[in-house]
Amino acid sequence: MSEPATSSTTPADARDVMSEGDISRALRRIGHEILERNKGSEGLVLLGIPSRGVPLARRLAACIEDVEGTEIPVGELDITLHRDDLRRHPVRTAHRSRIPATGIDDQVVVLVDDVLYSGRTIRAALDALSELGRPRAVRLAVLVDRGHRELPIRADHVGKNLPTSRDERVHVRVAELDGIDVVRISGGEGR
């Protein structure tokens, strides 16, 4: 599940677990894995889950294009109205889904998100996706898998498996939105 955005202030107990270079290498590796599993770029569509999944999807598409020489359609999938916590947190910024002109019917859709946690964000993404068409297959690529699944969801492509405790927070920052590429973890026993 994507962590909510926090202020630009870094918590005192935060420690970096992925640098800009680590993120770049992880995305290149994920891009190669996607191509290998798909046996090329034919029929691929990448859909980023706002907010940080969107720039990560664009970067993945650029990595794939560098390898294949083919432009990969990229879009955004808004999950706001499909979340199961709307009653508890009714005020949420709605984003607009932007589906590439190719559509998603009979395509291999790769959902891209920054952090996989409980699985509830991805469940909401699958619900949102089902309203937009019928892909041939749906796969999941995440920069960080922190564990603690509450639903039977797993990522097909993971940049970094990061075992965490439930009281720790994973902060993903991307240059497009935050001015820096870094993954930090804070909280836990030192809290």
Is the overall model pTM greater than 0.75, yes or no?
yes
CATH number at residue 186: 3.40.50.2020
Number of separate domains in the chain: 1
Instruction: For the beta carbon of residue 9, count every other beta carbon within 10 angstroms.
Output: 7
**Weakest-pLDDT range from 1-15, 100-114, 166-180:** 1-15
Q: Which residue has the higher pLDDT, 121 or 10?
A: 121
- pLDDT value of residue 87: 62
In a domain, 75, yes or no: yes
Cα distance between residue 159 and residue 13, in whole Å: 23
In a domain, 6, yes or no: no
In a domain, 2, yes or no: no
In a domain, 80, yes or no: yes
Residue 171 has pLDDT above 50, yes or no: yes
Sheet holding 168-173, edge to edge: 15-18, 182-187, 168-173
In a domain, 77, yes or no: yes
In a domain, 171, yes or no: yes
Residue 156 has pLDDT above 70, yes or no: yes
pLDDT digits (tens, 9 = 90+) for 58-108: 999 999 999 999 999 999 999 988 877 666 665 556 778 999 999 999 999
- pLDDT value of residue 140: 98
pLDDT digits (tens, 9 = 90+) for 26-51: 999 999 999 999 999 999 999 999 99
In a domain, 5, yes or no: no
Range of the domain at 164: 15-190
Q: Mean of the pLDDT values across residues 20-28?
A: 98
In a domain, 4, yes or no: no
